[in-house]
Structure 1
């Protein structure tokens, strides 16, 4: 039986700043190293005396399940980082809480049933076909797969949200999201936060980006509502605008905008990361790539995949799941404890900031032998049945699990199948430097040579 200790171990860091330098320079490496040296619950301190932050890292599968699922009511999205995301991107499904969240979830849930999501497959295929055509027409011999999949995923989610109103929204999001994400990150980790309305250069740049992003969403929403139900549009924005119930009412214009921004943010970055790294990993592992292509050729025989093909492409799904294990789009998930609780034998005090980290748990040696090795066979049904539920949680878990996880898998499998039908890949950059922002971020290129399969 585990004993309870009030002393949670952790790195000492420096007397003046604790672990602040290590966390700023390489938070993912620091978390991974700390689990190895100190165990599954680790206490981090960062910042100068008087402004020092304390964060508890929970790295076991059982601990992640406790934070996200079994005791989720005790771990809220009340930390400084989520507040910054909330103020920049709105109070949508990603950041809302309590009755706001429950109301939003009830209104949105019918739009994300498996049957409804499967209907988005054609829109995904249109955007994948456009990417493949651009590669063919340009005669390119290599691509940065992360950059290319980011554009693909953004265009796909924008098409599903806005129908044909894709180009302007994509251009604005491509330019604005990174700048606003950097601003959120800087403020989220800063021990001293100047008010947003102070006219500092950083605040003024962020305000301009924020205004432009809101303006394009508001314009599209207003035009769609003005066209009315008679337009016949069945994109997600129209369905969101029409979502209504006797209990929850409907979304007003500002609420619609906030949902749209969350879907654009979460809906493209997760899929782009999974797809980009799946291609890069296949480009480094020719045997696994050959096996994936053989499955695609056997099942599809050259035709465009549909939602009905997903179950017939199990190895492709395993490739994507292994890519999400090694490169989870949300590598760190934050919460704040309401009351004191015991996790893995250690007491987490009331009010403490807590993180769970797919980046670390997905590499936990108790569940993943040789954890850095790429092995899609870790995700056969038999292998998955033998592991704890929260040994792998790229979509979060519990009542706040990502509502779009089936959409992400549908889009990823369809895109990967279509791409592997036409091209093989050979990695040029064998290692990709990474950092953790709102999502996992590549700090260098992930280039692959394109090898046309036809002719």
Structure 2
């Protein structure tokens, strides 16, 4: 039976356990809990978690229409005031991912020229070179087997670090590889806890995170300071050199702290998301050899023995479809949170002002009303005709609206070109059929995705 309140019909949701609601389910598996709630209660779900006095209430919006309203058409009513984003802000700074209002608009105007298609296409040779180095190293792996999770993480981190820092890549890669996991787990734990000890209290978790953050900031600050004082780098083409010179008459430029904040966001968003997309694209093709054969035939026909270039992104539609299908099944940003500042009606229900709201590509990408046999890997879902027939927010791995990911063209370029280099060199056979997952700041594999290699060509 549906109850009715003065503000309209009550929003349904799971009861969970007495006094604690869905707290244990959300801790055990956030993504499974959201998917099950949509199945049992519909496209708008009310969640409660935690004991009385510390209880959090939030709403899950799982329809493409609702997601569009929150991210795009009514984006001004849904802000990044959520506690999760505050924790990200405290650790990674006030860059494009976390800034709001005038700060965000100013930063985006300054940074946008660095991410034009023409500018990003200029990084294609760096992407291809780093992928080719991985292909060469794979010629002698132990037992002929590699773990795609670790391999793609290292590849994506090295590529984005080289594009960001140029010749300073080695120090940045080592520090990020060591510090990011510590900071990520800390941010996620605090971002979804009803109460947290102040960051300055000397708890073991606070001290570990503070040390990792200080080390990461120190490396970035040192490299930024060097760029700002080195006149010889006036013509540098890496992103950090461009950031130090970016600006306009109306907005000015970025100071050292603002540059560091942008760099940290680019490191976070530019390597973890692409690594996830690449690893699962290759793993899914390893599990579906018939699709892998078709993709490799396309790569061979288009590339032959030459290095891939930016224009090949348009010439490799079958590989691009496989990547998009992998991003449907394993979206790197599986959950997006907002806080409402005005009451909003969605799906015939009223979400109150001040409410915490999530949209979930993970859930919407598996919605059986939008996708036939949604758990099946089928790249043909992304033919131009089928894409055009779907709602814009049936597939939104890069978010949408005014806060859509500024680096989505770079992510697609890197993923397609790197996958093309590796698949041209190797036939992949899956060793691990399933890969356990965890939802942190981004989607993370909680176990290996091993494949066996056989050289081709």
**TM-score grouping bracket, smaller chain normalisation:** over 0.9
Match of 1:377 among 377, 380, 385: 380
Match of 1:433 among 432, 436, 439: 436
Q: Are residue 251 (structure 1) and residue 254 (structure 2) matched?
A: yes
Counterpart in the other structure of 1:354: 357
In the alignment, the residues of structure 2 paired with residue 53 and residue 432 of structure 1 have an alpha-carbon distance, to the nearest angstrom, of: 30
Question: How far does the alpha carbon of each residue in 1:100-140 deviate from its partner, in whole angstroms, 9 at most, with x for none?
Answer: 00000000000100000000111111211111111124465
In the alignment, the residues of structure 2 paired with residue 54 and residue 428 of structure 1 have an alpha-carbon distance, to the nearest angstrom, of: 41
Question: How far does the alpha carbon of each residue in 1:273-320 deviate from its partner, in whole angstroms, 9 at most, with x for none?
Answer: 110000000010001000000000011112111001111100111000
Match of 1:392 among 390, 395, 399: 395
Counterpart in the other structure of 1:94: 97
SS state at 1:14 partner: coil
Counterpart in the other structure of 1:127: 130
Q: Are residue 268 (structure 1) and residue 256 (structure 2) matched?
A: no
In the alignment, the residues of structure 2 paired with residue 32 and residue 291 of structure 1 have an alpha-carbon distance, to the nearest angstrom, of: 32
- Asked if 1 retains the 8 angstrom alpha-carbon contact of 2:125 and 2:308, the reply is no
| Superposed structure 1 runs of 4+ greater than 4 Å apart | 137-140
In the alignment, the residues of structure 2 paired with residue 85 and residue 140 of structure 1 have an alpha-carbon distance, to the nearest angstrom, of: 40
Match of 1:19 among 8, 14, 22: 22
Counterpart in the other structure of 2:32: 29
Structure 2 unaligned spans of 5+: none
Q: Are residue 168 (structure 1) and residue 171 (structure 2) matched?
A: yes
Q: Are residue 114 (structure 1) and residue 124 (structure 2) matched?
A: no
After alignment, is 28-37 or 217-226 more displaced?
Answer: 217-226
In the alignment, the residues of structure 2 paired with residue 395 and residue 192 of structure 1 have an alpha-carbon distance, to the nearest angstrom, of: 30
In the alignment, the residues of structure 2 paired with residue 5 and residue 356 of structure 1 have an alpha-carbon distance, to the nearest angstrom, of: 22
After alignment, is 295-304 or 372-381 more displaced?
Answer: 295-304
Question: How far does the alpha carbon of each residue in 1:213-245 deviate from its partner, in whole angstroms, 9 at most, with x for none?
Answer: 000000111111121255532100000100011
- Asked if 1 retains the 8 angstrom alpha-carbon contact of 2:234 and 2:241, the reply is no
Counterpart in the other structure of 1:142: 145
- Asked if 2 retains the 8 angstrom alpha-carbon contact of 1:150 and 1:269, the reply is yes
SS state at 1:136 partner: coil
Match of 1:198 among 189, 192, 201: 201
Counterpart in the other structure of 2:306: 303
Question: How far does the alpha carbon of each residue in 1:392-424 deviate from its partner, in whole angstroms, 9 at most, with x for none?
Answer: 000000000000000000001100110111001
Counterpart in the other structure of 1:42: 45
Could you tell me how far 1:5 is from its partner in structure 2?
3.5
Counterpart in the other structure of 2:217: 214
In the alignment, the residues of structure 2 paired with residue 66 and residue 128 of structure 1 have an alpha-carbon distance, to the nearest angstrom, of: 39
Counterpart in the other structure of 2:366: 363
- Asked if 2 retains the 8 angstrom alpha-carbon contact of 1:140 and 1:450, the reply is no
Could you tell me how far 1:16 is from its partner in structure 2?
1.7
Q: CA RMSD in A?
A: 1.1
Change (3 A) 1:230 1:147: closer
TM-score by length of 2: 0.97
Question: How far does the alpha carbon of each residue in 1:71-128 deviate from its partner, in whole angstroms, 9 at most, with x for none?
Answer: 0000000010000000000000000000000000000000100000000111111211
Question: How far does the alpha carbon of each residue in 1:374-406 deviate from its partner, in whole angstroms, 9 at most, with x for none?
Answer: 000000000001100000000000000000000
Match of 1:447 among 424, 435, 450: 450
SS state at 2:398 partner: coil
Counterpart in the other structure of 1:289: 292
Counterpart in the other structure of 1:407: 410
Map 1:45-84; keep pairs closer than 5 Å.
Answer: 45-84=48-87
- Asked if 1 retains the 8 angstrom alpha-carbon contact of 2:25 and 2:33, the reply is yes
- Asked if 1 retains the 8 angstrom alpha-carbon contact of 2:227 and 2:233, the reply is no
Count of equivalent residues: 452
Could you tell me how far 1:6 is from its partner in structure 2?
3.7
SS state at 1:95 partner: coil
Question: How far does the alpha carbon of each residue in 1:229-264 deviate from its partner, in whole angstroms, 9 at most, with x for none?
Answer: 555321000001000111110000000000000000
- Asked if 2 retains the 8 angstrom alpha-carbon contact of 1:161 and 1:236, the reply is yes
Counterpart in the other structure of 1:242: 245
Q: Are residue 182 (structure 1) and residue 203 (structure 2) matched?
A: no
Q: Are residue 322 (structure 1) and residue 322 (structure 2) matched?
A: no
SS state at 1:12 partner: coil
- Asked if 2 retains the 8 angstrom alpha-carbon contact of 1:74 and 1:339, the reply is yes
